Amino acid sequence: MRDYETLRQRHQAYAMALAPRLIDRLEWPADRLALHRAQRLRELVHEAIDGSPWHRERLAGIDVARLDDDSLRDLPTMTKADLMDNFDRIVTDERVSLGLVNDHPETVTTGGYLLDGYTAVTSGGSTGHRGVFVYDWHGWATFWMGCFRQMLRAKEADPELASRPLVTSWVTAAHFTHASAALARTFASSEFVNVRFPVTLPTGDIVAGLNKTQPDCLVAYPSALHVLSFEARAGRLRIAPRQVLSCAEPLLPEIRAASEEAWGAPVGNIWAASESGGIAVPCAHSRSHWSEDLVIIEPVDEDGRPVPPGERSAKIYMTNLFNRALPLIRYEITDEVRILSEPCPCGSAYRCVADIQGRLDDVFVYGARQVHPHVFRSALGHHAGVVEYQVSQTRQGARIAIRCGAPVDLDRLRSDVVQALAGVGLSRPAVEITVADRLERDPGPAKLRRFVPLSEPSPLPRDSGERLLAAAN
C-alpha cells in the first residue's frame, strides 16, 4: 500500500485541476447541458455493460447510442437491496468485492485508499438499511468538486478570500466511513482548511472549537445548526461565517430562519447522497441548483410515474454520471423532491430544487391511514424553544423526545400534536413528550433520525431530569 498522505495530496491536486472545467460548466446553457448529459449517459451505460455482469444482463438489448433523458425511462430501476445483494457483480473492477470493501473501513480511521485508488463510504440511509458505496479516483474528486465548486468560484471572486486560505468548519459525521468526514479529510489543503467537529461531541466543546476556529464557512447537519443558532443567540457562540451550508438532513424552514437570524448570513442547502454526491448545490442566492451535468434525477410518484415540475415527488430515480466504479443507473432514493419551474435570479440554466422536507420512509402508517411528517413538524415548529426532536411512532400515536433551548409549555405542545393527529383522522391519538438532554443519533453518520416508524426499534433518549407527559384524547 502506498503512503496515504502522498496519495491524498495527489488526489487533492487532481481535484483542484478539475475545478476550472467544473466551474466553467456552471455557465452552460440548458441545451449544452442536455447534450452533455446524453453523452455521459451513453458512456456510463456502455462501460456498465462492458464491466459489470449484473448490468450486462439487465441492460441487454439497449440501444446505447440513442439514450437520452427521455429514453432513459425505458431502462429498469435498481434499489439499495439490489446493490447490496449483487455488489460483486455490479462493480466494474473485478478486484473490488463487498467483502474487501467491508474490511476496508476497519483501517480507514488512520487513513488509506482501497487498492491505492478507491474510496469506500457507508450510509445507513433514510430507512436505516446499510449501504456501501465505492468511488474511483476521478469519481471521488468529482464528488468533492461537485459539492464545493460554487464555494470555490465565490472565493476566487472575493479579493480578500482569494488572498488567503478558506477556513471551513464541519459539524457533521464523526467517522471517516461517512462521506462528509471522508471528504473533509481527503481534500483538506493549505488553500482549504477543513476543521472537523463531530456532531456527537458535547455542544460546549463544539462551541469552544468554533469560537477558536472562526470559520469563513460553517457546514453542519440542520439539527446541529438549530442547536448552534440557540448558542449564538445566547452569546456563547461568537462566530461570523460568510456562508452557512446544511447537508445530510432535511433543512426545515424554522431551522433556516433561526440560523439566518443568528448569523446574518445566507443558509444554503446541499442536497447530497452517499450514492451520488451533491445532487443539488446552492448558488450565491442560496437557491439549490440540481447538478445537471453530474447526475440525472427523475422525480416520480409511489408507482414510479413521472411527477411534473412544481409537484412533490414520492421518490426519485438517480443516475450517477461520474462514478464508473459502481454504476448506479435509475437508482431509487426515497427523498421527496420538488423541481421548481421559475428561474433563479443568478441566471443559471441549472434548474432549482426546493429544500427536501422529508422522505417517503418518514410517513407513519396507522392501519389504512398515512400521516406525513409535516403533521408533526407543523405542531412542533410553532414552539420556538424546541431545539431538536425525534418522533417515534406508537400504535395509537407517537412518543416524542425533545431538547429545549428555552422554556416550552409541554401541555400546550402535547395538545397541539394531539389535535394535529386528530385533524388527519386518527381516533383518540396518544402522545407522549419526553424532555431529554441529548437525543440518540444513528451510528456512523451520526445523523438525527427525526421520524422512526413503528416497525423499527425506537431509540431511547439520554435523559436527566426527564419529564414525561402522556395523554389520550
The radius of gyration of the chain from alpha carbons, rounded to an integer in Å, stands at 22
Residue 229 has pLDDT above 50, yes or no: yes
Residue 119 has pLDDT above 80, yes or no: yes
Report d(CA 184, CA 342) in Å as an integer: 33
Report d(CA 315, CA 8) in Å as an integer: 35
Between the alpha carbon of residue 473 and those of residues 234, 373, 389, 397, the distances in Å are 37, 20, 22, 10
| Confidence (pLDDT) at 463 | 40
Average pLDDT over residues 283-303: 94
Cell (9 digits) for 224? 446541529
Q: 472 falls in which pLDDT band (50, 70, 90)?
A: very low
Report d(CA 387, CA 258) in Å as an integer: 10
Mean pLDDT of the chain: 86
Residue 68 has pLDDT above 70, yes or no: yes
| Confidence (pLDDT) at 445 | 57
Q: 334 falls in which pLDDT band (50, 70, 90)?
A: confident
Residue 440 has pLDDT above 90, yes or no: no
Report d(CA 39, CA 325) in Å as an integer: 18
The winner for highest mean pLDDT among 57-61, 185-189, 334-338, 442-446 is 57-61
| Confidence (pLDDT) at 450 | 78
Task: Give the domains, in start order, of the chain with CATH numbers.
Answer: 1-358 (3.40.50.12780), 363-472 (3.30.300.30)
Q: What is the DSSP letter of 465?
A: S
Percent of the chain with pLDDT over 70: 88
The answer to whether residues 329 and 265 touch, using CB atoms and an 8 Å cutoff, is no
Report d(CA 226, CA 212) in Å as an integer: 20
Report d(CA 85, CA 90) in Å as an integer: 10
Q: 128 falls in which pLDDT band (50, 70, 90)?
A: very low
Average pLDDT over residues 23-51: 97
Neighbours of 319 (CB within 10 A): 22
Span of 147-151, 243-247, 382-386, 395-399 with lowest mean pLDDT: 382-386
Report d(CA 330, CA 76) in Å as an integer: 7
Higher pLDDT residue, 191 or 343?
A: 343
3-state secondary structure of 374: helix
Question: Which position has the grid cell 428555552?
Answer: 406
The winner for highest mean pLDDT among 90-94, 372-376, 430-434 is 90-94
Residue type (1 letter), 417: V
Nearest to 283 by CA among 142, 145, 154, 167: 154
| Confidence (pLDDT) at 447 | 65
Average pLDDT over residues 61-74: 93
Q: 374 falls in which pLDDT band (50, 70, 90)?
A: low
With residue 22 as reference, give the H or E element that holds it. Answer: helix 4-25
pLDDT tens digits along 380-427: 766 767 777 888 899 889 999 988 877 888 998 998 889 888 887 888
The winner for highest mean pLDDT among 46-60, 177-191, 411-425, 433-447 is 46-60
Report d(CA 469, CA 399) in Å as an integer: 10
Whether the full predicted model's pTM is greater than 0.95, yes or no, is: no
| Confidence (pLDDT) at 228 | 93
| Confidence (pLDDT) at 91 | 97
